[in-house]
Amino acid sequence: MWQYILKRVLSLIPLLLVVSFVIFMFIHLIPGDPARLMAGKDATYEEVQAVRVHLGLDKPLLEQYVLYLKDLLSGNLGYSIKSGAPVADLVAERIWPTLGLTFMSIIWALIVGMLIGVISAVFRNKWPDHLGMLIAVSGISLPNFWVGLVLIQLFSVKLGILPTGGATDWKSYILPSFALGAGIMAMIARFTRSSMVNSLKQDYIRTGRSKGLGGRQIVFGHALKNSLIPVVTVAGLQFGFLLGGSVVVETVFSFPGLGRLLIDSIQFRDYPVVQAEILLFSLQFILVNMLVDIVYSFLNPKIRYE
């Protein structure tokens, strides 16, 4: 097991190097002179040069990349063009609300999605199944920004029971996490159903039934337990969907998280912040995928030997 984990962690190094290089090239891929763009249209030649030196853009490309890697390893993500503050500080401020939001989203999506999936599988091809799968396919098709706006209209404008935005208390997480988790909930429902349908056909279920076990015990004690592995894997792999969605949902709810910071930074052309944020999002995504692989190999030892 430890050998597998070590192998999996080591295999990340080349990927992380390439990803970091792609993100490093981000500033260089911007059409035109990045120093001029960041200094602003009305900047003098001296101001443009100062930005160039400040960002290290005057050095050879390879040297810039080595310095970038060194900075990354020491936790230095550069400085914001807009505020001059260290990007690491800006990001650290915003990371907790985003993590809280994604955590709440995935928790409710797992609970509701699995419940819908189990009901659909147990009542396969009957009306609860059709209804469950209609909810699931609708959830996948819903634009999360629209869900957010409809929720604001209903619960904030009409009923006045939940805040329209911000992240002041736990109540302000409810609507955004619902808007963000709807798509994942739908995917989890579909995978739980298909995994449960498969489990319910297995011999051990027949054995359980012949032993006289009750329906509830068979469904929750045997079938669901064995269906969980692919479901948890899917939930983990859909984490990227949550990260992307958080950018949109945070914008709808004026939520002070990483996603909102990303969009604000793009609008202000604060490229060091944009660069650091994209790195952070992909890093989270890569790490979660690795963790899912490790958990999966732990639950299903066959994977370790393939």
Partner 1 sequence: MSNVPVETATAEIVVNQSPTRFQGFWRSFRKKKPALYSFYFVLLLILTMLFGPSVVPYDPALPDYNKVLESPSAEHIFGTDEYGRDILSRLAVGARISLSVSVSAVLIGMIVGTILGLISGFFGKWVDKAIMRVCDVLFAFPDLILAIGIVAILGPGLKNVVIAVSFFSIPSFARIVRGATLEVKEMLFVEAAKSIGASNTRIIWKHILPETVPTIIVYFTMKVGTAILAAASLSFLGLGAEPSSPDWGAMLSMSRDYIDSAFHLVFFPGLIIFLTVLAFNLLGDGLRDILDPKTKD
Residues that bind partner 1 (CB under 8 A): 15, 18-19, 22, 26, 29-31, 137-138, 140-146, 149-150, 152-153, 157, 190-191, 194, 240-241, 243-245, 247-248, 251-252, 262-263, 266-267, 271, 274, 278, 281-282, 285-286
Q: Which is nearer to partner 1, 4 or 145 (CB)?
A: 145
Q: Which is nearer to partner 1, 80 or 282 (CB)?
A: 282
Residues 6+ apart with CB under 8 A from 69: 20
Q: Are 50 and 35 in contact (CB under 8 A)?
A: no
Closest distance of CB 56 from partner 1, Å: 19
Closest distance of CB 262 from partner 1, Å: 7
Closest distance of CB 153 from partner 1, Å: 5
Q: Given CA atoms 138, 144, 148, 150 in this order, what sign does their dihedral have? A: negative
Closest distance of CB 249 from partner 1, Å: 10
Q: What ranges in 170-270 are assigned the alpha helix state H?
A: 171-200, 203-210, 215-216, 224-237, 239-252, 258-267
Instruction: Return the exposure string of 173-212: e unless at least 16 CB atoms fall within 10 Å of the residue's CB, then b.
Output: bbbbbbbbbbbbbbbbbbbbbbbbbebbeeeebeebeeee
Q: Which is nearer to partner 1, 164 or 208 (CB)?
A: 164
Which tokens hold the place of 70?
Answer: 């060194």
Beta carbons within 10 angstroms of residue 92's beta carbon: 12
Q: What angle do CA 122, 104, 262 make, to 5 degrees?
A: 125
Q: Kind and range of the H or E element at 107? A: helix 87-122
Closest distance of CB 179 from partner 1, Å: 12
Q: Which is nearer to partner 1, 202 or 217 (CB)?
A: 202
Burial degree of 87 (CB within 10 A; 0-12, 13-18, 19+): buried
Cα-only R_g, the chain: 24
**103 residue type, one letter:** F
Q: Which is nearer to partner 1, 46 or 272 (CB)?
A: 272
Q: Which is nearer to partner 1, 50 or 155 (CB)?
A: 155
Closest distance of CB 257 from partner 1, Å: 14
Q: Which is nearer to partner 1, 76 or 194 (CB)?
A: 194
Closest distance of CB 133 from partner 1, Å: 9
d(CA 149, CA 249): 9
Q: Which is nearer to partner 1, 4 or 26 (CB)?
A: 26
d(CA 116, CA 102): 21
